[in-house]
Structure formats: C-alpha cells, structure tokens
Structure 1
Amino acid sequence: MAGPNRQVILKSRPVGIPEARHFEIVTNPVPELAEGELLVRNRYLSVEPAMRGWVNAAANYSDAVGIGEVMRAFSAGEVVASRHAGYSVGDKVMGMLGWQDYCVTTGGPIRRKVREADLPLTLSLGILGINGVTAYFALNEIGQPRPGDTVVVSTAAGAVGSAVGQLAKLAGCRTVGIAGGADKVRLCLEEFGFDAAIDYKDPSFQERLAEACPDGVDVYHDNTGGAISDAVLRHIAKGARIVICGTASVASWDPWPSGPRPERHLLNKAARMQGFLVWDYEHRYEEAVSRLAGWVRGGQLRYREEIVDGIEHAPGSIAELYAGTNTGKRLIRL
C-alpha cells in the first residue's frame, strides 16, 4: 500500500538560519494504521521563513522541533488509507504533516480538507494557505486599511508581501513595495500591481522611499525588521498601523541586536505597532480561503510558485529562501 517513508529530520540545532547540514534524510517503514488513524501521501512540501524560528533554540511562539524529529512543515496530499470516520480515501488535505512522504495521523495536524477542486492543490500551501491567510488577516485585522491609505510592504515580491499589496489595492489603497533587486522590483510593478516599488539595495533607497510616500505611510506591513523598517518608521503618518509579521533581516537573536528605537516615532504620530500570528485566526481560516479563492478565480489575485522536484531539496531550502534567490512560493514536489 505505502512505500518506504523518506523523512527529513533535524540533526543538529542551528543558531540563526538553518542550513542543509542541520538536517538528515532517513528512511523508515510506514506503520500499520490503528483505529482512528489515516495515512496521507504528501504530494507537496512547503518552505516557510517561519521555519527558522521553529528549529532555533531562541524563544519562539511554538516549541522547537526536537533533535531527531521530522521537520515540522506544512504539506498537502491525499488520503490513501483511512480508519478514521472523518476522512475517506481520496480526500485532499493540507496541514502540518511534515517533511516526509507519508504521514500517519489521527487528524490533529490536518488544517483543512482542500475542497477547491478547480484550483491546483499547490495553492493550499500558498495563496490559499498560510501565506494568503496571513496576508488577509494581518492587513485587514491589524492594518485596517482605508480607501486612499498609503500601504508599504517589505519583501513585497514574496508569497505574503505580494498578497498584501494586492489585497490593499482591492481595498482602494495606494501601495508601495520594498524588494531586493531589479527583477523583484519589476515583479512588484508588472505582476502584482504595486503603484511604486523600491529596491532596498539601492544607495538612494531613503530618498526613493520619501518620494514614494509624500503624504506618509498609513499602514506598514513589516516582514523584515532591521534597517528597512527603521527607514519606513521615519515616514509614518499620524495614526499609522504597523503590522509586525516577520523579522527576516535579523540573522540571529543571540546576541540580541541593537538599533534605532521606534518609541519616538510611535509617540509623535500616535501610531500603533502590533505583532501578528496567523495561529490566532485559525478559527476563521475558511473565511479567508473562501474570499481569497474567489479573487484568484476572478483574476484579481495573482500568485507565483517556484516548485522543485525531490525531497533531497528540502534540507537546504530554508537557507535558500533567506538568500532571496526565489521568485515565488517555494514548494517541493514529491
């Protein structure tokens, strides 16, 4: 029924960005199902920036993956055997099923059945998965965009940032994307419809940012932290809403980095800065997916995917993500 199960396990604890050497691929048999269990054959494995936090020893919003454990990851696949009343053979599912070929589960790690049969299964890990759901709730619940607002997004060509920009446009906002390199700036403008896009590597980045936001920044969706965010904070408008969604530019939290402080900017502009965790909105996941799927079908929400074949690409994929070489949602096809 099931072949050998290749699994990517955490071999050693990284400090900072995990690399291929911190993982190992092992092969184990698939156990027989007990009553109440089901077997999922993973078809696609996801790679997320958040994975850095899942394996580091530094304090995080979830327990660290243990040494020798299968790497925690979102995956999508189909049920190939079931002794669980809630799942049937052939059901498409996505969830925290790990970097492995097969997952035996009682159903707890499964986030949802994928019912969008007219759309690719891969979308359940991207624009209709954690990336799109993050963009939807982070922007609408914390950013609270209003028509005419200027919305600035860092890592604007990425899976989350590109969705934030497009959703802000749908809300009637003016959008400014920050990305790394001319190709990604071009993506922001030509594919994702940002009104302006700026290369943070450009020596004139500060001046370009000021020119792009003449009336200030009403909403800042921050995926990076660090120097990029320090620059944006200088331009926030009165009553600005700042969404802290990621800290991709900070290589390590040991030792704790120092830098400019945001307090004076927040005080002077009566602005609000708030962290965002997508897990806080799990009970509303279907709401977001329904809206996002409608926009995808209608052509109002575009996405990019970068798919590589083979589980052997998994160990080094997080480091590659932080190197900024990808131009779409990074997925591994099994």
Structure 2
Amino acid sequence: MTVNQQWLIARQPRGPLRPSDFTWRESPLEPLGPGMVRTRVLYAWLDPTNRVWFSRGSYLPPLVVGDVMRAVCIGVVEESNNPALQPGTTVTGFMGWQTRSTSDGSDLTVLPELPGLPLTAHFGLLSHIGLAAYHGVVDIGRPQPGQTVVVSAAAGAVGSLAGQIAKIAGARVIGIAGGPEKCRRITEDLGFDAAIDYKGEDVVAALRRLCPDGVDVYFDNVGGAVLDAVLGEINDFGRVVACGMIGEYDESGQGHVFTNLSNLVNRRTTLQGFIVLDHLDLVEVAYPRLLDWHAAGRLQYAVDVVDGLENVPAALGRLFEGTNSGKLIARISTDEGADAR
C-alpha cells in the first residue's frame, strides 16, 4: 500500500517559521474517485510567502493548524480518472508539502517542455519568479536608458532577474545583497553596475556614494529600513515597485519607524504593490521574452536545491537568514529525464 507523506501545520507561528511549527504525517492513499487525479510531487518551492500565508491579511485564505503546508509544486500525474490529464503529464499547481496530491485537476496546469533547459527552469526562470521580475520592472518600474535602478535582495530569485531585466532596458543598476560573495555574484556574474552589502556597510552612505544623482526606480523585496533608506534618495516622480517585504513577514516586532515616508508626497513618488496571481495573463508575453533573453546569454537564473521532503522545514529558515542562492526549491522525488540542476 502506497503511503502519502506530508508536513502539516502544528501550531500558529510566532516570529519566523521554525521546524517545530510543523508536524510529519504518513497515511495510506485512498482509492481514486471519479474524475480525480493523483499527482506525485517532484519539486516544491520554498518562499517567503510561506510565512505570509498564515496572516488573515494575506491574498489567500490563512493556513490553520492541521493544513498541509501550502506550496506551488511541479509534479507528474500518476493516476487519473480525468480524461484531460493522462498519467505521465507534467503539471504545476498548489500541491503542498507532500509526496502526493489528489484533486479534480482544475487546480493543475500542464507544463510545456523547455528544450535545452531542466525542469527546474520552470521555477528559477519562469513561474511566479519570472513573472514577478518581468511585471515589476517592465510594467511598473518602467526604467529608461540611463536611469538608476536599485534592487534589494538582489541575489535572490526575483531580485537577480529584476536587476538583469533593468540592465536589458538600459538602466544603471545597483543591487543590495547580504555578504561579499552575493555582492560579487551580482556584479561579476550578473552584470549589476555596483553592489551594497547591507550586512557590512551603511546602506544610506552607500546609496549616496553610488547614486549621486538619486534613484529613479526601486525594486523592493524587503521593506523596512532598506525601503526607508532608498526613499531618502528617490528622485522626483520616482517609482517604487513593492514586490515583497521579507523584513516585515515574521510579525515579531513593531515594524520599522519610517523617517522618509513624506518623500512619497514631496518627490511625487509612485509606490505600487502587486500579486503575481493577478497577472497570469502576462505569461504569453513574458515567458517568450524571458526565454529569449536567457538563450541570448543576457538573463541568468539560479536554483538552490534541497533534497528530501523531510528536510524542507529546516531549509525554509535559509530564506530569512539570507543563506540561499537563487530560487530555493525542494526535490521531493525524481522522474526519469528530469535534470535536477
């Protein structure tokens, strides 16, 4: 009898997510009902939004004790009573932290093959990662040639793509990242014009040194003190793209006290947030451009793979510690022909 393995919510988290917030469950698989589909999970992404989804203010229903931890996954259809999804079909959807997912198939999207690219490119280059970077830069930030763009969490999955897309648009790009190696990577490997190590230098002083003519576009992934620092240097009619605010997600403190918020008015700044799920219509526009840029060597991506469902809760902390490199994903199982890297 095949057993499904799952990570369930054990308690409502206080502060950053910890392994003790989850509990392991193994249970036998029930027979597949009419019209239902069973998918074996190959990869699950780990994301700062794993923490956001516990909040009642989130864009999705809050997670509660006993729920399977929510996650977007890539899987392969194993059994099917749904004629639209045959066994062997590779799909993506919200399958969660488990080895197998059962649904009516309406929550699954068939993934196209990407010739010459591994299956994980759907998470590192495309999926919500690529869409967030593309929409945030191209549609909201709208950098012009010669303008200055600042990107926080610049060595992360979204930030690294956003900075490269801004470079493709002709902008001068400054990345904010944690540690010398990440700063080296975004400048030497990804083509950023300069980097600020928020762990080792004063961000305000560095911004004033590297952006003497101010900041035209800020792609924000962290919020808090870094957002405040950039608002202090924002130019008239600057644009702030609010993609994420990982510095605010753990709900353990009172939040940053802003000193430069008045610049939203004084500099006539536009600050716009977005949720990728509202912009899935962009797939037909964004995916071909992302793939073309990658094929031309102008857009690089990275995935950081954790092996085994059992290691997922402990690995999630790397996102909040900033020790991951690129998109953090977990390999739950393998499939013949799927290149893990």
Report the more deviating stretch, 177-186 or 244-253: 244-253
The 3 A distance-change label for structure 1 pair 249 and 217 is same
TM-score by length of structure 2 reads 0.92
Q: Is the contact made by 2:152 and 2:222 (CA closer than 8 Å) also made in structure 1?
A: yes
Work out which of the residue numbers 304, 308, 316 in structure 1 matches 2:306: 308
What is the one-letter code of the residue matched to 2:229? A
Partner of 1:69: 67
Deviation at 1:91, TM superposition (A): 1.4
The 3 A distance-change label for structure 1 pair 235 and 112 is farther
What is the one-letter code of the residue matched to 2:308? G
The C-alpha deviation readout for 1:130-169, integer Å capped at 9, x for no partner, is: 1111111111121122222211000000000000001111
Q: Is the contact made by 2:229 and 2:260 (CA closer than 8 Å) also made in structure 1?
A: no
Partner of 1:43: 42
What is the one-letter code of the residue matched to 1:217? V
Partner of 2:186: 188
Which contiguous aligned blocks of 4+ residues in structure 1 show a shift greater than 3 angstroms? 251-256
Partner of 1:12: 11
What is the one-letter code of the residue matched to 2:47? E
What is the one-letter code of the residue matched to 1:230? D
Partner of 2:29: 30
Q: Is the contact made by 1:139 and 1:164 (CA closer than 8 Å) also made in structure 2?
A: yes
The C-alpha deviation readout for 1:241-295, integer Å capped at 9, x for no partner, is: 1011111122543664251154421122111011121111023234322221222
Deviation at 1:20, TM superposition (A): 0.4
What is the one-letter code of the residue matched to 2:19? A
What is the one-letter code of the residue matched to 1:308? V
Report the more deviating stretch, 58-67 or 318-327: 58-67
Partner of 2:335: none
Report the more deviating stretch, 228-237 or 119-128: 119-128
Deviation at 1:111, TM superposition (A): 4.1
Work out which of the residue numbers 173, 177, 180 in structure 2 matches 1:179: 177
The 3 A distance-change label for structure 1 pair 261 and 244 is farther
2:235 counterpart SS class: strand
Unpaired stretches in structure 1, ≥5 consecutive residues: none
User: How many pairs does the alignment contain?
Assistant: 332
2:65 counterpart SS class: coil
Partner of 1:95: 93
Q: Is the contact made by 1:12 and 1:67 (CA closer than 8 Å) also made in structure 2?
A: yes
Matches within 5 A, 1:198-237: 198-237=196-235
Partner of 1:332: 330
Matches within 5 A, 1:202-281: 202-250=200-248, 252-253=250-251, 256-281=254-279
Q: Is the contact made by 1:96 and 1:111 (CA closer than 8 Å) also made in structure 2?
A: no
C-alpha separation in 2, matches of 1:290 and 1:119 = 14
> Percent identity over the alignment?
39
C-alpha separation in 2, matches of 1:33 and 1:297 = 41
